[in-house]
Amino acid sequence: MMRLYIQSCVLLLIMTCGFFNSNAQNLISKDTINNERLYRPYIHFTPKTGWMNDPNGMFFQNGTYHLYYQFYPNATVWGPMHWGHATSKDLIHWEHKPIAIYPDSLGLIFSGSAVVDKNNTSGLGTQKNPPIISIFTQHSMEGEKAGKNNFQNQSIAYSNDGGNTWKMYTGNPVIKNPGINDFRDPKVLWHEPTKRWIMVLAVKNKVFLYSSANLKEWDKESDFGELLGNHEGVWECPDLFQLSGNGKNYWVLSVSVNPGGPNKGSATQYFVGDFDGHQFSTNSNKTKWLDYGTDNYAGVTFSNTGNRKIAIGWMSNWLYAQQVPTYKWRSAMTIGRELGLQEVGEEMFVTSMPVKELKFYKSSVLSEGPITQTSAYQLNVQGSKINSFTITLQNEEGESLDFGYDQATNQYFIDRSFAGVHDFHKEFAALHSAPRISTNSNFTFKVLIDKTSIEIFADNGLTVMTDIFFPSSPYNSVTIQSTNEELRKNIKMSSFLAQ
């Protein structure tokens, strides 16, 4: 009865609105459904509603991946930050969970990380039930408005139920701001040789490294990066992790910079070197980018994944993130990527490839020409000799997305100039390019295409590009152009089962 009453009230309201502006109402509802159908990705994580930016606090435990993220539930633009939460068994299918951490009197909940405190060093759990500790920046809006310079401080929260619910530590903040405007995004790891926790923190144009025995008291060890890498923008969201390559272990320090990216706006750079428990050092002074596309920012790795190093990034760019044409939600995450190291010449480079779990979702094999199936796609091209090639996705509107390799410049590229809607930002429609790092004549080129994103992993992940786009209708044909017949014949495509 009550439901019937509410329903008729809603109907009455709609009819009343309709009386004044029936066309506009119809358009909005149709548009919303259409927008959802057109733009909500199949195999990439998006919040149900609201605004999302950086991935936060990612950890793995008992077969479950936890993803937290910068979340503003009340609008589709950036606002007071919470930590949203989702879990997955395979990094592809995500289950939405209630908001994990809410702002409190110390401020909003900015980016940070989480660790499994196996030995209960913090004393915030028990030996039998070790706690999960999250470490994040609290940003005081009041402090910022009052013109202070110490409005970003580091706090911790703890979970005694595997990351589902969190309690704020009463001794927060655990690191007080010494009077520096940009002082944020703590990423914490366990350093076995010194048996201490290490934190890497973004501080204006460099990173600070801290150590701790218990995650509550921290000592500054060193800083890194003031004179290295790209400094066109502020440094944010650093990470520090080990990878092996050429039978040796290396340390990688990655850090996002905004603006300053190789194709404008936000992007993530990295350094390969050594970490002795106190200081990070590198022999290389080359600026290296994890991803040359415009849409992979603030990416960091999961903790507690053993020898696998898995990263996820925010698939957008601060240049236009708040204007992209989605209504109910804004932004998606990149596909989970497994990181590795490869030597080219004298330099070590980080490689990224989509996580192997994606294999379980491959369904039918496709071929060049019309695409009838609506789903996400994977494309693989390989050959013994690389020559220029262009792959084109097109829709009935004549909008097209071009991507491939240009031999004259030795660059991979994505051209989204004519890919679809772009009037929301003047710099969105553009051609983006990336250097080919590999010096081999043979090549591999793996591409993931979802409704609004393309991720290219060339040469086993040595050159990576991620771009988003917004076609007015789904692309329904794929063609490949190249003077090299072998390359044309070697294109393999398959679709993924829709989520």
CA distance 314 to 332: 6
Nearer to ligand FRU, 316 or 352 (CB): 316
# of chain residues touching ligand FRU (CB under 6 A)? 12
254 binds ligand FRU (CB under 6 A): no
Identify any residues that bridge with 310 across adjacent strands, giving them in sequence order.
338
CA distance 375 to 331: 19
Residue 50 one-letter amino acid: G
CA distance 314 to 265: 13
352 binds ligand FRU (CB under 6 A): no
Q: Is the omega angle on the peptide bond into residue 173 within 30 degrees of 0, that is, cis?
A: yes
Minimum Å gap between C-beta 110 and ligand FRU is 3
Phi, psi of 239, deg, nearest 5: -150, 155
Minimum Å gap between C-beta 46 and ligand FRU is 17
Nearer to ligand FRU, 257 or 487 (CB): 257
Q: How many CB atoms lie within 10 A of CB 58?
A: 23
Restricted to residues 292-321, the positions that interact with ligand FRU (CB under 6 A) are 298
Residue 289: helix, strand or coil by DSSP? strand
Nearer to ligand FRU, 69 or 412 (CB): 69
Residue 6: helix, strand or coil by DSSP? helix
Restricted to residues 54-73, the positions that interact with ligand FRU (CB under 6 A) are 54, 70
Q: How many CA atoms lie within 13 A of 267 on its CB side?
A: 25
* Residue span 90-119 as binding mask against ligand FRU, x where in contact by CB under 6 A, dash where not: --------------------xx--------
Nearer to ligand FRU, 202 or 414 (CB): 202
Give the max Cα distance, the chain.
Answer: 75
290 binds ligand FRU (CB under 6 A): no
Among 41, 47, 53, 332, which residue sits at the site for ligand FRU (rule: CB under 6 A)?
Answer: 53
Minimum Å gap between C-beta 55 and ligand FRU is 10
Residue 203: its H or E element: strand 196-203
240 binds ligand FRU (CB under 6 A): no
449 binds ligand FRU (CB under 6 A): no
Provide the Cα torsion 434, 367, 42, 79; round to 10°: 30
Nearer to ligand FRU, 81 or 124 (CB): 81
135 binds ligand FRU (CB under 6 A): no
Q: Using CA of residue 264, residue 265, residue 270, residue 276, what is the dihedral sign? A: positive
Nearer to ligand FRU, 331 or 395 (CB): 331
Question: 206: which residues sit within 8 A by CB, 6+ positions away?
Answer: 223, 224, 225, 226, 235
| Cβ(275)–Cβ(207) below 8 Å | no
Nearer to ligand FRU, 234 or 353 (CB): 234
Nearer to ligand FRU, 121 or 155 (CB): 155
**Is 467 labeled as catalytic in the residue annotation?**
no
CA distance 476 to 487: 22
237 binds ligand FRU (CB under 6 A): yes
Minimum Å gap between C-beta 310 and ligand FRU is 20
Residue 429: helix, strand or coil by DSSP? coil
81 binds ligand FRU (CB under 6 A): yes
Minimum Å gap between C-beta 331 and ligand FRU is 11
464 binds ligand FRU (CB under 6 A): no
Catalytic residue among 54, 239, 295, 402: 54
Among 221, 236, 291, 467, which residue sits at the site for ligand FRU (rule: CB under 6 A)?
Answer: 236
In 3D space, the residue among 493, 432, 491 whose CA is nearest the CA of residue 464 turns out to be 432
Phi, psi of 487, deg, nearest 5: -65, -40
In the block, which residue shows the tokens 């800083």? 223
467 binds ligand FRU (CB under 6 A): no
140 binds ligand FRU (CB under 6 A): no
239 binds ligand FRU (CB under 6 A): no
207 binds ligand FRU (CB under 6 A): no
Take residue 220 and report the two structure tokens written for it: 């500054």
| Cβ(234)–Cβ(256) below 8 Å | no
Restricted to residues 174-193, the positions that interact with ligand FRU (CB under 6 A) are 184-185
Minimum Å gap between C-beta 111 and ligand FRU is 3
CA distance 267 to 262: 7
Minimum Å gap between C-beta 238 and ligand FRU is 10
Q: Which residues are catalytic?
A: 54
Which residues of the shown chain bind ligand FRU in the complex (CB under 6 A)?
Answer: 53-54, 70, 81, 110-111, 137, 184-185, 236-237, 298
